[in-house]
Amino acid sequence: MTQSAYRAKLLTFTGDPAQSSDAAVFDEDGVVIVEDGHVVASGAWSALKSRVSDGATVHDLRDKLIVPGFIDTHIHYPQTDMIASPAPGLLPWLDTYTFPTERGFENEAVAQDTARFFVDELLACGTTTALVYCTVHKQSADALFTASEAKNLRMVAGKVLMDRHCPEFLRDTPQTGYDDSAELIGRWHNRGRQMYALTPRFAPTSTEAQLEACGALAKAHADIFIQSHVAENPDEVKWVKELFPGHRSYLDVYDHYGLLRRRAVYGHCIWLDDEDRRRMADTGTVAAHCPTSNLFLGSGLFDFDKAGASSMPVTLATDVGGGTSFSMLQTMNEAHKVARMGGHHLTATRMFWLATAGAAQALDLADKIGTLAPGSEADFVVLDAQATPLLARRTARAESLEELLFALALLGDDRTVFETYAAGKRVHSRDGARR
Ligand code: GUN
Ligand code: ZN
């Protein structure tokens, strides 16, 4: 099998930088050696140059930085074309823009066209894995998986389930939601690099019967993902209290139906209490913090101190179209500011970990993605610290890895992504045409 080698500055991780000062591993002159879609070796060029085989192509990227592909743990592909639609809060935003837009995905051609654009946009931003919400229509999930499979991406996605409190044209039923999800699991889960996420939209749009059906599906498929929203907005939290009066909290509704576990990922997690956070930590349930969305919709400020104290798994996500950027760099920028508002200093090194190895670990995918470790699937991003004149001037003065990463996170966006690789193949080139 042909080998390729990428000589560049390298950043990878062996653990959480908040817990260990040597968790971030940086090579000023490094190399990633790739064969058959996997990383064979990565580390210092001086130590590994003898491992590069004679026939291998060596890509000279010494003025660039290679990091593992970014992982966005919460995003809605059908909302691509309605990004940047203002509303006075989550619930009016859903009614005014989201539901009418999602109706369009009953048309297969709309779903296919949007899915292809969406996947290219992720790759242009260096995101190689995402947890994706589709619409209630099962063909919307087929379209997303087909677009992802065409580029051999490790993608997680699912059809939304909703059987109440949304327009009639977007409703399934407990039975059809169950049947369609089961069919999609059978068709897509672990087919190549595709993985399925059971996707009840959020508690208000599912009846108890539908949540029960979700619990049954989750139980029957122990290794699928589960994704939903929780405690995003005070009006939503109040509504859930009225709809599910017997429960201790919003999170407890999901707990009751067996929907908290490893590989269960909940968007937002702003208005949780300490017992909720403890429950998430105990069950391995993952929080997807969506800073650009939370600021845009005025939902609230995620509490990094309380999340950290509880040890619940935390990841970063865009939540497009509630979020305002596909870029995980821009997401880091806003995450830093949200943390600052709570008096918490979120370092850039930790944000890069949260968006790569930390997310892979939280999602139970650490053996496959998130690092440049030998045996990993070769998903990585080539970042250009000279992408804009301002970034070039600022990074020229960086005196530490943290300073360099901080400038990339605060000033970076899709222009900073020079190339993106998935399973060892180049799937985006900034300076070339989209492929
Ligand atoms: N809660 C339920 N549906 C949605 C959605 O599409 N976006 C966001 N941000 N929150 C939700
Ligand atoms: Zn969302």
235 CA to middle of ligand 1, Å? 13
pLDDT tens sequence across 343-397 = 999 999 999 999 999 999 999 999 999 999 999 999 999 999 999 999 999 999 9
Same domain, 151 and 243: yes
Residue whose CA is at the smallest distance from ligand 1 atom 11: 229
CA 335 to chain centre: 14
356 domain residue, yes or no: no
With respect to residue 240, please indicate whether it lies within any of the assigned structural domains: yes
Nearest residue CA, atom 8 of ligand 1?
322
User: Residue 434: is its pLDDT beyond 90?
Assistant: no
- Shared domain for 235 and 91, answered yes or no, is yes
- Average pLDDT (283-299) is 98
Ligand number nearest CA of 95 is 1
Q: How far is the CA of 228 from the centre of ligand 2 (A)?
A: 8
Whether 59 and 87 map to the same domain: the answer is: no
Asked whether residue 397 is assigned to any structural domain, the reply reads yes
Q: Cα(131) to centroid of ligand 1, in Å?
A: 14
Tell whether 91 and 151 lie within a shared domain: yes
59 and 202 both lie in a single domain: no
Supply the residue whose CA is at minimum distance from atom 7 of ligand 1.
Answer: 322
CA 240 to chain centre: 26
Q: Is the pTM of this model over 0.85?
A: yes
In this structure, are 143 and 193 located in the same domain?
A: yes
Question: Does the residue 297 lie in any domain?
Answer: yes
Domain hosting 408: range is 3-68+371-429
- Ligand 2 centroid – CA 76 distance (Å): 6
Instruction: Pick the atom of ligand 1 nearest to 293's CA.
Output: 9
Is 31 in the same domain as 172? no
Ligand nearest to the CA of 74: 2
pLDDT at 59 > cutoff 90:
yes
Mutate which of 77, 232, 302, 325 for ligand 1? The one with the most ligand atoms within 8 Å of its CB, which is 232
Average pLDDT score over the chain: 98
Do residues 144 and 157 make contact, with C-beta atoms less than 8 angstroms apart?
A: yes
Q: In angstroms, what is the span from residue 216 Cα to ligand 1's centroid?
A: 24
Q: What is the whole-number distance in angstroms between the Cα of residue 281 and the centre of ligand 1?
A: 23
Residue 360 lies in a domain: no
Q: Is the per-residue pLDDT at 160 higher than 60?
A: yes
Classify residue 100: in a domain, yes or no.
yes
Nearest to 369 by CA among 68, 123, 90: 68
Collapsing DSSP to helix, strand or coil, 238 comes out as helix
CB 320 within 8 A of CB 105: no
Residue 113 pLDDT level (bands cut at 50, 70, 90): very high
Asked if residue 396 and residue 254 are part of one domain, the reply reads no
Query: Which of 432 and 200 is assigned the larger pLDDT?
Result: 200
Q: Are residues 83 and 194 in the same domain?
A: yes
One domain for residues 342 and 279? yes
Q: Which residue among 313, 346, 379 closes a domain?
A: 346
Query: Of the residues 330, 346, 362, which one is the last residue of a structural domain?
Result: 346
Paired tokens of 342: 């709570």
Number of domains in the chain: 2
Domain of 414, CATH number, reads 2.30.40.10
pLDDT over 50 (residue 178): yes
- Flag whether 353 is in a domain: no
Tell me which residues have their CB closer than 6 angstroms to ligand 1: 76, 90, 94, 98, 201-202, 229, 232, 293, 319, 322
**188 and 133 in one domain?**
yes
Would you say residue 226 has pLDDT above 70?
A: yes
Residue 433: the pLDDT is 55
Report the nearest atom of ligand 1 relative to the CA of 321: 7
* Main-chain phi, psi angles of 125, to 5 degrees: -95, 0
CATH number of the domain encompassing residue 183: 3.20.20.140
Whether 361 is covered by a domain: the verdict is no
d(CA 418, CA 87): 34
> Given ligand 1 and candidates 202, 206, 271, which is best to mutate, with the most ligand atoms within 8 Å of its CB?
202
Q: Has residue 146 got a pLDDT over 90? A: yes
The pLDDT, as a whole number, for residue 373 is 98
Q: Please indicate, yes or no, whether residues 60 and 77 belong to a single structural domain of this protein.
A: no
**pLDDT at residue 435, as a whole number:** 42
Query: How would you label 402-424 residue by residue, b for 16+ Cβ within 10 Å and e otherwise?
Result: bebbbbbbbbbbbebbbbbbbbb
Ligand 1 centroid to residue 94 C-alpha, Å: 7
What distance in Å separates the CA atoms of residue 147 and residue 87, rounded to the nearest whole number?
Answer: 31
pLDDT, mean of residues 281-302: 98
